[in-house]
Amino acid sequence: MTYSFGALSHLDFEDLSRDLIGRELNIRFEAFVSGPDGGIDGRHAQGTDKIILQAKHYVASRYSDLKRAMKKERAAIDRLAPTRYILTSSCGLSPKNKAELATIVGASLQSESDIFGPGDLNSLLRRHPEVAKSHVKLWLTQTAMLERVLNAAAHSFNDITREEIVEKLKVYAPNPSFDAARGVLESQHVVIISGPPGVGKTTLAEMLGYAYLAEDWELVAIRSLDDGLAAISDSRRQLFYFDDFLGRVALDKNALAKMDSDLARFITRVRKSKNARFILTTRAPIFEEAKRHSEHLADRRLDISRYLLDVGIYTRRIKARILYNHLSTTGTPRSHVVSLIDSGLITEIVDHKNYSPRLIAQMTEGSRISDLEPAAYPTAFIAALDDPSQLWDIPFRKHIPRTCQHLLLTLFFCGEFWVPIDTLSVNYAAYHAALNAHFGTAHDPKDFEESLRILEGGFVKISGRSVMFVNPSVRDYLLNYLDDHILLNLAAKASLRTDWTQAVWEHAKRISPPWTVPAPPERAELARSFLPVAETFLTQPVRVRIKTEHGVYLHPHGLSNVDRAELLIDWWFASGEERFLALLHSLLSNPIDGWDPWRDGEDLIALIGKFRGPGYFDELPSREELANILVTGAIAMIESHSLNSEDLTKLSDAYEEWPTAVTDEMNTTLDAAIIRQFDELDETLRGMESESTVDEYLEMLDKLGARAGIPKYVLSSAAEAAEERKAVIERRSVVSHSPSLKNVGAQANDDFDDSALRNLFAPLREGRF
């Protein structure tokens, strides 16, 4: 295995040299701050002996450059007067080159063998492979590892390219969070990476993902917990990755209620499996809000704090290295780099209260800052840190045409993640037309295609036939920009799909919370703007047939029937418009495609409870009549579907949470469905391929059995059958081996003063990238 060292910065190369030579000599080198170091990158002293290590990273340079640099170092070497001097270099060296360098270094060099070129370093790395693995940037950029990552990640990281991985590794600043995350992941099988926006949560998760992929784990990047629940199997090693699992902008309590129990169940399942690992990322404020609303996330038995890793804290050294890496690798013009260093503002940037890797990445990206004069770059950098929203304000308002602005506003309401281009196009046509009509501007049939072409790379990214924002901060900027009643009213009038209406209405609650009494006139006006699309709630499907190579599947489409009903109720309360009540009665009497136990299920029971209980819909006319309609629908849903144990457990939990919703007939119907589950036990177990799935299934059967009065001997028989199935699965399972790599973080002594910080950037001032 041969390493090229090209992905390493000179700081990374110094770290590697200290570790590798130290391991070979079985000594520990002290680390020193970077910059004009007086001929020393590492020192080992014992008694009167003093060994000095010097690392020269010249991977893309000529030997003559290295030779010239070493001549300048001679005075420093003589001043230090080490008993032994060792030189490492990434520049290719011939025997003649080593002889010349030996003459330049002088008497402190005991032997030419103390000059280590790339070939010598690779020989040491083969002898000490654990050192290579402890330097993730070196290890993962090796050709064989990259190929393994690329082959395994093709369907999980959206066809990421070799170049993209290498570029990410170049700007990555090794830090203790990697080892901490991996430690939690291996001890608990689950790690929740939390922190403020832009601190590097996704980057850390991706680095962990690459490391596991390189060790032949299967990466399963999921966008819903249902995906994970369907894919988990104990017969192979799987790393599940759920980026921003609580959403990027705003947490909706109802949405959380639908996912938190699934999250708790999936975490429990992963923890029981020896071959499963689960990485989640979330913004810290959203996570804290979620814990206040979620009984599952706050459950002491789950003890979510065991899996939580806050990556919002960086040492000064690490923050400086992140900035250094970006300035040296992301295309920042050298004139801008020199201007920034000469301004003396590097210290202010590193210590800024709003410092984040995302802001650093944006303000060092060559294409973003190319319009700035070099002299203006330092103050513009500080201004961006003072007000991060301004990073997108000028580009949005000044750099793109109105047609592109309309497309970005449309994308905001289409969803937080990947949006199909066809869906985006249809919604854009409607919203773009409404905006143009209101503001008296013209539009062209080719506006969509042209806008998408202009925005790609700068504001959005495209993968296959889907689109999403290039960076979550674009969405954050639009979050505040769209706090505008005119834009929201036009979005409401342009509504075509049910999920679009919910996105617009939920955003409107930021301006006018639903508990504001009396309701402001703007809220009533907005609600009435939804009336045309509300009429289609009785015809728009809740599922569509999707044809794939594996067959035809029913895929969720828009909002569920319960979600539609709750929107109609909201709009009636806001506006008093009687047509919303008529639509509500029709929808509940004849739900589109019938009530779905997976999508409606427990929400249907909750809605009955709200109709019958005090404090929810007290002023809603005919609410008892509507509750009776839903009771009939709930009974029919249970009787007409072959419910699995998860559906039954959710319904059972909902029965307990909303006792006012439950009738004797509903109880009898649910008990009969539970008994059928026991009758189908053997067939269900045969379809399970995970020991943890079997364990969870048995736990649910115990709970359901107690509810339905199932005899103990039947429960015992079910337990025996479950153990037999687990034995079959265990014989097929592979043994889990976690990656043995470590990550090099900040040195134990992290004394990094202003002088050290300035010295770190000195090589960039001299053009050493």
Bond prior to 518 in cis (omega within 30° of 0): yes
147 or 561: which carries more pLDDT confidence? Answer: 561
In sequence order, which ranges of 26-142 are alpha helices (DSSP H)? 63-80, 95-105, 118-127, 129-134, 136-140
Question: In the prediction, which pLDDT does 450 show?
Answer: 92
Provide the pairing of β-strand 551-556 with 543-548: antiparallel
Residue 318 pLDDT > 90: no
Q: What is the mean pLDDT of residues 646-655?
A: 89
Predicted pLDDT of residue 415: 84
Q: How many CA atoms does the CB half-sphere of 415 hold within 13 Å?
A: 17
Whether residue 150 is found in the same domain as residue 276: yes
Answer yes or no: do 188 and 282 share one domain.
yes
- Separation between Cα atoms, residue 719 and residue 708, nearest integer Å: 17
Q: What is the CATH number of the domain that holds 474?
A: 1.10.10
Q: What are the angstrom distances between the C-alpha of 62 and each of 59, 66, 69, 331?
A: 8, 7, 11, 22
408: phi then psi, degrees, rounded to nearest 5: -65, -40
pLDDT tier at 424 (50, 70, 90 boundaries)?
very high
- How many domains in the chain? 6
Band of pLDDT at residue 216, cut at 50, 70 and 90:
confident
Predicted local confidence at residue 471, as pLDDT: 75
pLDDT value at position 158?
46
Residues 174 and 294 occupy one common structural domain? yes
Query: Is the pLDDT confidence value at 127 over 50?
Result: yes
Bridge partners of 88, per DSSP, are 55, 116
Residues 506 and 623 in one domain: no
- Give buried/exposed letters for 695-722 (b at 16+ CB in 10 A, else e): bbbbebbeebbebbebeeeeeeebeebb
Percent of the chain with pLDDT over 90: 37
Predicted confidence at residue 387, as pLDDT, reads 81
Same domain, 251 and 236: yes
Length of the chain: 769
Residue 439 lies in a domain: yes
pLDDT for position 249: 38
Q: How far apart are CA 270 and CA 277, in angstroms?
A: 6
| Residues 6+ positions from 422 with CB-CB distance below 8 Å | 465
Using 50, 70 and 90 to split pLDDT, how confident is the model at 328?
confident
**253 plus 341 within the same structural domain:** no
Question: Same domain for 422 and 542?
Answer: no
154 lies in the same domain as 290: yes
For residue 3, the model assigns a pLDDT of 84
Structure tokens that stand for 1 in this block: 């295995």
Domain presence at residue 588? no
Residue with more model confidence, 272 or 72? 72
Residue 741 lies in a domain: no
Is 600 among the domain residues?
no
Q: 55 pLDDT exceeds 50?
A: yes
Tell me: pLDDT of 741 over 70: no
The domain boundary residue, chosen from 357, 388, 419: 388
On average, the pLDDT of the chain sits at: 84
Q: What is the pLDDT of residues 197-207, one digit of tens each?
A: 667 888 888 88
Rounded Cα distance, 639 and 457, in Å = 51
Residues 594 and 647 sit within 8 Å (Cβ to Cβ) = no
Instruction: Please report, for the domain that includes residue 55, its CATH number.
Output: 3.40.1350.10
Q: What is the pTM of this model?
A: 0.67
305 shares its domain with 176: yes
Q: Is the pLDDT of residue 735 over 90?
A: no
Specify whether 258 is located in the same domain as 236.
Answer: yes
pLDDT at 743: 59
- Report which of residues 311 and 640 the model is more confident about: 640
> pLDDT band for position 738 (50/70/90)?
low
Q: Which residue in the block uniquely carries the two structure tokens 């038995």?
A: 301
**Rounded mean pLDDT of 698-704?**
89
pLDDT band at 250 (very low <50, low <70, confident <90, very high): very low
Residue 746 lies in a domain: no
Among 121-125, 388-392, 464-468, 684-688, which range has the highest average pLDDT?
121-125
Q: What's the pLDDT at 71?
A: 93
Strand order in the sheet with 190-195: 218-221, 238-242, 276-283, 190-195, 308-310
Residue 445 has pLDDT above 80, yes or no: yes
| Residue 761 placed within a domain | no
Question: Is the predicted pLDDT of residue 456 greater than 70, yes or no?
Answer: yes
Same domain? 534 vs 518: yes
Cα distances from 377 to residues 245, 366, 374, 474, in angstroms, run: 36, 12, 5, 22
The rounded percent of the chain whose pLDDT value lies above 70 is 86
492-506 pLDDT, tens per residue?
A: 999 999 999 999 999
Q: So what's the pLDDT on residue 507?
A: 92
Q: Residue 762 — pLDDT band, cuts 50, 70, 90?
A: confident
Write out the H or E segment, with its range, that includes residue 53: strand 49-56
302 falls in which pLDDT band (50, 70, 90)?
Answer: low
Q: Which residue has the higher pLDDT, 384 or 635?
A: 635
Give residue 32's pLDDT. 63
Judge whether 757 lies within some domain: no
Give pLDDT tens digits for 347-364.
999 999 888 888 898 899
Among 4-13, 261-270, 287-296, 423-432, the minimum mean pLDDT is found in 287-296
Q: Answer for the pair 308, 274: CB distance below 8 angstroms, yes or no.
A: no
Angstrom CA distances, 216 to 221, 236, 239, stand at 15, 10, 10
Residue 635 and residue 527: Cα distance in Å, rounded? 32
pLDDT greater than 50 at residue 677? yes
Mean pLDDT of 293-302: 62
Is the same domain home to 150 and 35?
no
Q: What is the pLDDT of residue 84?
A: 93
Average pLDDT over residues 708-713: 90
Q: Name beta bridge partners: 654.
A: none
Mean pLDDT of 382-406: 85
Distance of CA 352 to CAs 242, 310, 342, 720, Å?
Answer: 30, 19, 18, 61
* Average pLDDT of span 682-691: 84
The pLDDT of 502-514, averaged and rounded, is 84
Q: Is the dihedral of CA 87, 91, 93, 97 positive or negative?
A: negative
Of 361, 388, 415, the one marking the end of a domain is 388
748: pLDDT strictly greater than 60:
no
Domain that holds residue 555: 490-583
9, 70, 92, 121, 526 from 118: Cα distances, Å: 15, 17, 6, 5, 67
In a domain, 752, yes or no: no
- Which residue among 388, 413, 439 closes a domain? 388
Which has the higher per-residue pLDDT, 300 or 467?
467
